[in-house]
Structure 1
Amino acid sequence: MTPNALAVGLARALAVSSLIAVPAVHAQQAGGPAADATELDAVQVTGQAVYRDRSDATAPTLSYGVEYFQKFEPRTVGDMLKRVPSVAFVSDVLEYDGARLRGLGAGYTQILINGKKVPGGGNDRSFFVDRIPAEVVERVEIVRSASANRSGDAVAGAINIVLRDAYEFDGGYVRLGASRFDDGEVTPTVAAVASGAVGEGRVLAGVSHQGRYNPKRKTSLRYAAPGGEFDNREDQSDIRDGDDTSFNLSYVRDVGDVGRLSLSGLYVRTDRTETEHSREYNVPVGTARDNLLSVNDQLEDIRQDNFAFKGDYVFDMAGGETAFGVSFARFDEDTVGTEVEVGYDDGETPPAWDGYEGERRLVALRDDESGASVSHRRPVGAAELEFGIDALRKERRFEQRTSEVEADAEGQPLPPYAEFDATVTDIREDRLDPYLMLSGSAGRLDWETGLRMETTDIRIDADGAGFEQDENQLLPSAHLRWNITGQDRLSLSLARTVRRQSFDHLTPVLLEGEYGDNDFIGNPMLEQETAVGLDLGFEHRLGKRGVVGVNLFYRDVGDLIELVSTGEPSESAVEDHEDDVADFVDGNPGAGPTTPGYPVFDPDSFVYTAANVGDGEVFGVELDLSTPLDALGLPDTGVFLNYSWLDSRVDDAIGERRFNDQARSVFNIGFIQDLPTLGMSFGVSYRDQGNAYARLLAEEVTTAYGEDLEAFVENRFGRSWSVRLTGTNLLDASKDEVFHKFDTLGDQIERDYDEYELESEVAGPVYQMVVRYAF
């Protein structure tokens, strides 16, 4: 961070604090908790900082209650996860969507809601965590290593989003607020949660509505090659504008003296428009009409629905405990995207009109996951035995319709989008996963070992052609925790996991020009990646509330999925050869293949596919600290820090590299200061993510993010009211990317550039005022 940038950021943070830094009534604790529930969100009107919880699970797990994040008023689960160890993002500025544990691709990270898998829109099976409002969350768990009673597709680990539960809380609150962005736009946020006894059970209900807005500015400078001749510049405004509305409901009741029924549901509706306006010039600076090359406008209207339901019935049976569970989750998206561009030829001054074209893309995606499970656990001597079976069916339907039009002459409007090329893909995946797990304690040792068998049957129907694949994986796991003292413990975990194939890698549909001049077609016979993982951690309790921990991890990934050439020429290569032949015949009437000089078909671009090739390694060190400064006589000052050093190795067609887009590091540090006599608190949080590099076919990208500084100040009034002002992105964080672009693999190896691009995206600070009333 530069001194000037830090000074500006701290000045903004102090400005946030000064706006409401006035004396207030000292906060008092709310009334006593209900007999079987904790008062809901009492922490919202107290100033005491809350720290990372020390999990009792034998498998290495970090648990963060919502109060750990709440002071900085996160809008979504993505905003929450950016503060925890090893979670990186490769998203646009102020966007935290695809969480990447250990910096690996989002498809390597398992996202769970209440312990159950949820579908998402990503081809890599990833779920965008920014679709879940922070208001519905009770806690977030980072599960570093797999256990037999959870799905094994968690190479990097799992993130379990635990929603508020009627059994755990009593009371409620109302939240009202607004956010102001640097372009003057103001968006609202409204939420309410209430819980209490209803008949023989307990009910929790919540509703949330928040405006989502993100104005960004982007500049791209393009050259023939690094250090080469300047080609063009593109200036772009990009505005994401939308609303998220969510409803969540939980019902819990005891059934007799031996059972408990739990039902929970979550629904999130996202309405969003993405508007981009770009102008391309043939000079590095300036916006004169004489230098204009193109005007491009893109508009996407997006509607997404996320729905998740879970039901569990747990009861005593045969000397143990039996559980039945059902779940259903749906991701539904409809997108209408339109792009129009007017091009100009700078061979004349001013540049002459060179075309007007448009494209409309209609996308409909529905991804359903329905599951059922049964399990039983019982004591076996000094240990506990658990066994069960999980059944899961995924049904995914993807439809894309594309229409392209163009105007015949300058001044004419585009014709209507009437003729659409359609692609329809249906995928059904059935899983039946039995497991067996044994756990127990022996003196200072806690242990767990298990075995899971995952059986997968995939059926693909792509544009009428059917394909089928069956695959079985045996996934052992073992965890050992040595409680050295009451404050110190050492943990060791070993587990085998899988990464399931991306849908686009499985679907055998030809995509022309997907990688430069190269085409791509999916491989329905592609197998899952597998990994053997090792985690070694040490944790020390600091006083009554603090925790410091360090963890070393290693993953040996086999059957790695990479792009390989099929040997077949691309459509571009075939068309170029056909054009060469036509030109030769025009100049040599009657010529044939034996005619001297007749063009020889020697393609330099090909059709690529995905295949299981080679191995890879992922490794790193994770440090986290969360504690009050009691030892320094500052019990009202809390600090948190985490740092992750991340690395990996994999070989591709060019040589050795890291896993694509793996950040080199993730660093968070911050503090919260309570002022009990004034009924106030304030704090600052700073985040820095290391550079990421990706080498794909015909393209290489280095991504760097600027530092992120956030601050809050809170004023509390009596037992129930609080006002909190937060400032985010106080350093005007940027995302800077360097693109090396090529036409073919051969050009990439020889460094024969098609284009070299420097792109920078920036957004300004966001200020949010929130008022809460707890009851």
Structure 2
Amino acid sequence: MKRNALAAGLARALACAALLPASVAWSQAIAPDGSADAADAKQLDTIVVQGEIAYRDRSDAIAPTLSYDLEYFQRFEPNTVGDMLKRVPGVAFVGSDIMEFDGAMMRGMAAGYTQVLINGKKVPGAGDDRSFWVDRIPAEMVDHIEILRSNSANRSGDAIAGAINIVLRDAYAFDGSYLRVGVNRWFDGEVNPTFGAVTSGEALGGRILAGINIQDRYRGKLKRSDRFADPSMEELVSWEDQAEVKDGRDYSANLSYTADVGESGRLSIDGFYVKTDRDVTEVSHEVEYDDGDVIESRVPGLNPINQKNWGVGAQYRFDMAGGTTEFDLDHARFEDNSAESEEKHEYVNGEWDASEAESSAISASDAESGFRVAHKRPAGAGELEFGIDYRSKKRDVTYANYAWEAEQEGDPVTYEADGSIGSLIEETRVDPYVMLSGRGEVLSWEAGLRYETTRSDIRYSEDGEIEGSASKDYHMLLPSLHLKWDLTDADRISLSLARSVKRPNFNELIPAVLDGEYGDNDYVGNPRLEQETATGIDLGFEHRLGKHGVIGVNFFYRDVKNLIELVNTGQWSEDAQDSYEDDLEEFLDENPDATEDDFEFEPESWLFTSANVGDGKVYGVEFDLSTPLTSLGLPDTGVFLNYSYLDSKVTDFIGERRFNDQARSVYNVGFIHDLPSLGTSFGATYRNQGDAFSRIVAEEVMVKYGDDLEVFVEKRFGSKVSVRLTAANLLDASKDEFFNKFDNQDDQIDRDFDEYEVESEEAGPSYQLVMRWAF
């Protein structure tokens, strides 16, 4: 099977190679302070006709940082930041649908352990776990991506796994204009356009950059589920075939303005806007076998998505009192007005039996505002930085539920209100910090302290009526220390020690009962949860290979305290209580002389909550290589390789396991070869993500992803036009999930299965043709 898939993938790759399209590359000069010098700005009006290959940058930051320019990824024409991040070390995507990359997981830990920043600032996102879906940001808006492996005092400490800083294009760093026009073709024949434009130049006493991007987002996939009585797979209980189509359009724009003020001041204003309009349609055919009866169901579903992300920020930096003072002001907002509905029309032995439907609508607004003042000044042979961060967050979410049940076949679907639940979470943070650093010819160091304080207020409502509230204060001192030894001009060792935190997920804090949240089990939040904390160590070695190449290895360890996991409260669910009352009444009717004490009842569902259950450990090694093959006489060939081995330990109610959803490993390998005399380049990349396992009360899941092969070919025409063809998922990878389901915790421990399910989804190869025109 694998051999046939690989052969098919290579055949598709050779077919693409015959068409020969192209690419764009720019060069950028960065000033010693990290900002771009306008005199050396990237020229957007010039396509580098020699097809120079871009490699991973070697960062001068003292804290362990990997930096990747857009040019590093651009040959494979990524559509989103998610498409870019799947190529960097240690980033996995477990839970994402096949060919989708939304919740980035550094070190394989859940997305909520990874902090995502835009231009160094926190942004709200769709995830209940405080994560930001990185596929919301188009790749064309990005200048470079930084992988921050450890905390520093001048950044928020909620990044146990690390942080990803998405740096958007800056007016001071670019000059010129270009257009990007392309089409995508999917395995089912659907063709979708994409369009982007960027322009930058002098205006209003400074420099302005503006960009827009419009792309149709489409994904069709096929899913198959087979459900058995137990893992022996001897008794088939039911099966389901499903076709799903995600069809929509993303609109995005970014704006940057930079101006020098006086002799030392610089004012920068930036903003971004992303709007997602998408319809997800599903049609399922289910068949269940029950005591000789065949129960068939037609299950259509619709999920219209309407989401917006936007943010604005202003920064003013100037010399003052022998140092440099900086003021930052930012505001970001996420809005979600989406809905989801599913109908079920059931037939028993070919005869109509029932029709029902459920629908829910979400109205969510998550706003976050921040103000920061910081001052840097010389301190002996080093530099002192101190400041204070203020952040205010308001998350207002309401879920409205609707239901319908038919009286006879063919009745129209007319939904009736079935309750609503809402929550309002307000958080206020005041985080002072101080940091001292020094740079020497051999040794550079950075030491800092950050004191994070958070006031959290929670209110929740049901059917529009306030049901309760809770408050919680958090206080945490976060020290950090980074050392960097430049042993030679080519060799570097880095060591980092830092403390970090993970705040509870939003729904974990809301003390409202959610009916049937985990199968038949109910869930109630716990506003008394403490933050998870971690003490982390990173030890790395990096070696420069010639002029452009770099090879690095990094060992990491995180000792996590106050781990938050799902637990059983021991209380019955609402369904179990109702069943108890009904069964008790029937028992007493049948046994007039009996009492309630004579009645025996075993509940099949419970009330779950979240609790701080103990400690965990996360560790692994990350390796990356990015270099031309000049030493082998192939200066026009670049190779790229990264591999991460990921592991962890946590003890739950059954025993020892890894952190939930942590992939065992993830690696990428690829090459790019340039033919300067022909103005042509081509390349390929191969990605593999290891298996991931998760275990919660009453359910265990193993997730496996197939291997991913991508190729590109390009052709350049003069210095203004390039054309590139890319092909993705050439091995037609699948996402396979294996579910062990139980009625309750006792059955799970005893391995008394309720159901064993095998689910697989595929989306087929896709192709993208893009033309760029600089002017």
Residues 749 and 629 of structure 1, relative CA distance in 2, 3 Å threshold:
same
**How much does 1:28 deviate?**
12
Following the alignment from structure 2 to structure 1, what is the Cα–Cα distance between the partners of residues 334 and 267? Answer: 26
- Contact kept, 8 Å, 1:219 with 1:760, in 2: the verdict is yes
Which stretch of the first structure deviates more once superposed, 11-20 or 158-167? 11-20
1:476 corresponds in structure 2 to: 479
2:278 to 251, 272, 278: 272
Q: Is 1:357 aligned to residue 356 of structure 2?
A: yes
1:572 to 572, 575, 578: 575
- Contact kept, 8 Å, 1:45 with 1:721, in 2: the verdict is no
- Contact kept, 8 Å, 2:25 with 2:71, in 1: the verdict is no
Q: Is 1:137 aligned to residue 142 of structure 2?
A: yes
1:548 corresponds in structure 2 to: 551
1:104 corresponds in structure 2 to: 109
SS in 2 for 1:613: strand
2:406 corresponds in structure 1 to: 407
Following the alignment from structure 2 to structure 1, what is the Cα–Cα distance between the partners of residues 38 and 325? Answer: 28
**How much does 1:31 deviate?**
14
Equivalent positions of 1:162-311 (< 5 A) are 162-227=167-232, 228-282=234-288, 293-311=296-314
Q: Is 1:47 aligned to residue 51 of structure 2?
A: yes
Following the alignment from structure 2 to structure 1, what is the Cα–Cα distance between the partners of residues 242 and 24? Answer: 48
Note the aligned Cα RMSD (angstroms).
1.9
SS in 2 for 1:67: helix
Give the partner amino acid of 2:302: L
Residues 670 and 457 of structure 1, relative CA distance in 2, 3 Å threshold:
same
1:705 corresponds in structure 2 to: 705
**How much does 1:272 deviate?**
0.6
**How much does 1:411 deviate?**
2.7
**How much does 1:63 deviate?**
0.1
**How much does 1:46 deviate?**
4.4
TM-score, scaled relative to structure 2: 0.96
SS in 1 for 2:416: coil
SS in 1 for 2:659: coil
User: C-alpha offsets along residues 200-252 of structure 1, whole Å, 9 cap, x if unaligned?
Assistant: 10000000000100000000010011114111110000111111110100000
Following the alignment from structure 2 to structure 1, what is the Cα–Cα distance between the partners of residues 268 and 15? Answer: 46
* Matched residue count: 759
- Contact kept, 8 Å, 2:51 with 2:679, in 1: the verdict is yes
**How much does 1:282 deviate?**
4.4
- Contact kept, 8 Å, 2:270 with 2:312, in 1: the verdict is yes
1:417 corresponds in structure 2 to: 415
User: C-alpha offsets along residues 157-188 of structure 1, whole Å, 9 cap, x if unaligned?
Assistant: 00000000000111121000000001111111
Which stretch of the first structure deviates more once superposed, 404-413 or 308-317? 404-413
1:583 corresponds in structure 2 to: 586
**How much does 1:441 deviate?**
2.1
**How much does 1:128 deviate?**
0.2
- Contact kept, 8 Å, 1:27 with 1:718, in 2: the verdict is no
- Contact kept, 8 Å, 2:28 with 2:41, in 1: the verdict is no
Give the partner amino acid of 2:261: V
**How much does 1:352 deviate?**
2.1
Following the alignment from structure 2 to structure 1, what is the Cα–Cα distance between the partners of residues 504 and 27? Answer: 51
- Contact kept, 8 Å, 1:516 with 1:742, in 2: the verdict is no
User: C-alpha offsets along residues 80-115 of structure 1, whole Å, 9 cap, x if unaligned?
Assistant: 000000000021001100000000000000000000
- Contact kept, 8 Å, 1:59 with 1:145, in 2: the verdict is yes
Equivalent positions of 1:299-338 (< 5 A) are 299-338=302-341
Q: Which runs of 5+ in 2 are unaligned?
A: 30-36
1:154 to 127, 141, 159: 159
User: C-alpha offsets along residues 277-309 of structure 1, whole Å, 9 cap, x if unaligned?
Assistant: 00012489xxxxx96611101101110000011
1:89 to 75, 87, 93: 93
Give the partner amino acid of 2:153: A
**How much does 1:563 deviate?**
1.9
**How much does 1:30 deviate?**
11
**How much does 1:514 deviate?**
2.1
Following the alignment from structure 1 to structure 2, what is the Cα–Cα distance between the partners of residues 30 and 604? Answer: 64
2:506 to 503, 507, 510: 503
Give the partner amino acid of 2:457: R
Equivalent positions of 1:550-699 (< 5 A) are 550-589=553-592, 591-593=594-596, 598-603=598-603, 605-699=605-699
Which stretch of the first structure deviates more once superposed, 213-222 or 514-523? 514-523
**How much does 1:609 deviate?**
1.2
SS in 2 for 1:5: helix
Give the partner amino acid of 2:716: R
- Contact kept, 8 Å, 2:28 with 2:42, in 1: the verdict is no
Q: Is 1:80 aligned to residue 79 of structure 2?
A: no
Following the alignment from structure 1 to structure 2, what is the Cα–Cα distance between the partners of residues 534 and 614? Answer: 20
Q: Which runs of 5+ in 1 are unaligned?
A: 285-289
Following the alignment from structure 1 to structure 2, what is the Cα–Cα distance between the partners of residues 507 and 27? Answer: 49
- Contact kept, 8 Å, 2:178 with 2:772, in 1: the verdict is yes
- Contact kept, 8 Å, 1:27 with 1:46, in 2: the verdict is no
**How much does 1:337 deviate?**
1.4
**How much does 1:359 deviate?**
1.0
**How much does 1:518 deviate?**
2.4
- Contact kept, 8 Å, 1:240 with 1:273, in 2: the verdict is yes
- Contact kept, 8 Å, 2:57 with 2:66, in 1: the verdict is yes
1:287 corresponds in structure 2 to: none
1:426 to 424, 435, 450: 424
TM-score, scaled relative to structure 1: 0.96
**How much does 1:27 deviate?**
10
2:70 corresponds in structure 1 to: 66
User: C-alpha offsets along residues 109-139 of structure 1, whole Å, 9 cap, x if unaligned?
Assistant: 0000000000011110010000000010000
**How much does 1:440 deviate?**
0.3
Following the alignment from structure 2 to structure 1, what is the Cα–Cα distance between the partners of residues 38 and 744? Answer: 67
SS in 1 for 2:140: helix
**How much does 1:568 deviate?**
1.9
1:486 corresponds in structure 2 to: 489
Following the alignment from structure 2 to structure 1, what is the Cα–Cα distance between the partners of residues 251 and 91? Answer: 26
- Contact kept, 8 Å, 2:47 with 2:774, in 1: the verdict is no
**How much does 1:420 deviate?**
3.6
Residues 84 and 54 of structure 1, relative CA distance in 2, 3 Å threshold:
same
SS in 2 for 1:615: strand
SS in 2 for 1:371: strand
User: C-alpha offsets along residues 695-741 of structure 1, whole Å, 9 cap, x if unaligned?
Assistant: 01111000000000000000001111000001011111100010000
1:397 corresponds in structure 2 to: 396
SS in 1 for 2:82: helix
Residues 74 and 276 of structure 1, relative CA distance in 2, 3 Å threshold:
same
Residues 362 and 260 of structure 1, relative CA distance in 2, 3 Å threshold:
same
Following the alignment from structure 1 to structure 2, what is the Cα–Cα distance between the partners of residues 34 and 159? Answer: 26
- Contact kept, 8 Å, 2:397 with 2:424, in 1: the verdict is yes
Following the alignment from structure 2 to structure 1, what is the Cα–Cα distance between the partners of residues 154 and 81? Answer: 25
**How much does 1:19 deviate?**
1.8
Equivalent positions of 1:506-525 (< 5 A) are 506-525=509-528
Q: Is 1:742 aligned to residue 747 of structure 2?
A: no
Give the partner amino acid of 2:299: N
SS in 2 for 1:78: helix
Following the alignment from structure 1 to structure 2, what is the Cα–Cα distance between the partners of residues 474 and 603? Answer: 45
Residues 355 and 192 of structure 1, relative CA distance in 2, 3 Å threshold:
same
**How much does 1:613 deviate?**
1.6
SS in 1 for 2:71: helix
- Contact kept, 8 Å, 1:700 with 1:739, in 2: the verdict is yes
Following the alignment from structure 2 to structure 1, what is the Cα–Cα distance between the partners of residues 2 and 540? Answer: 34
**How much does 1:589 deviate?**
4.1
**How much does 1:399 deviate?**
0.4
SS in 2 for 1:328: strand
SS in 2 for 1:151: coil
Following the alignment from structure 2 to structure 1, what is the Cα–Cα distance between the partners of residues 48 and 268? Answer: 26
Following the alignment from structure 1 to structure 2, what is the Cα–Cα distance between the partners of residues 67 and 294? Answer: 50
Following the alignment from structure 2 to structure 1, what is the Cα–Cα distance between the partners of residues 595 and 295? Answer: 46
Q: Percent identity?
A: 59
Residues 653 and 238 of structure 1, relative CA distance in 2, 3 Å threshold:
same
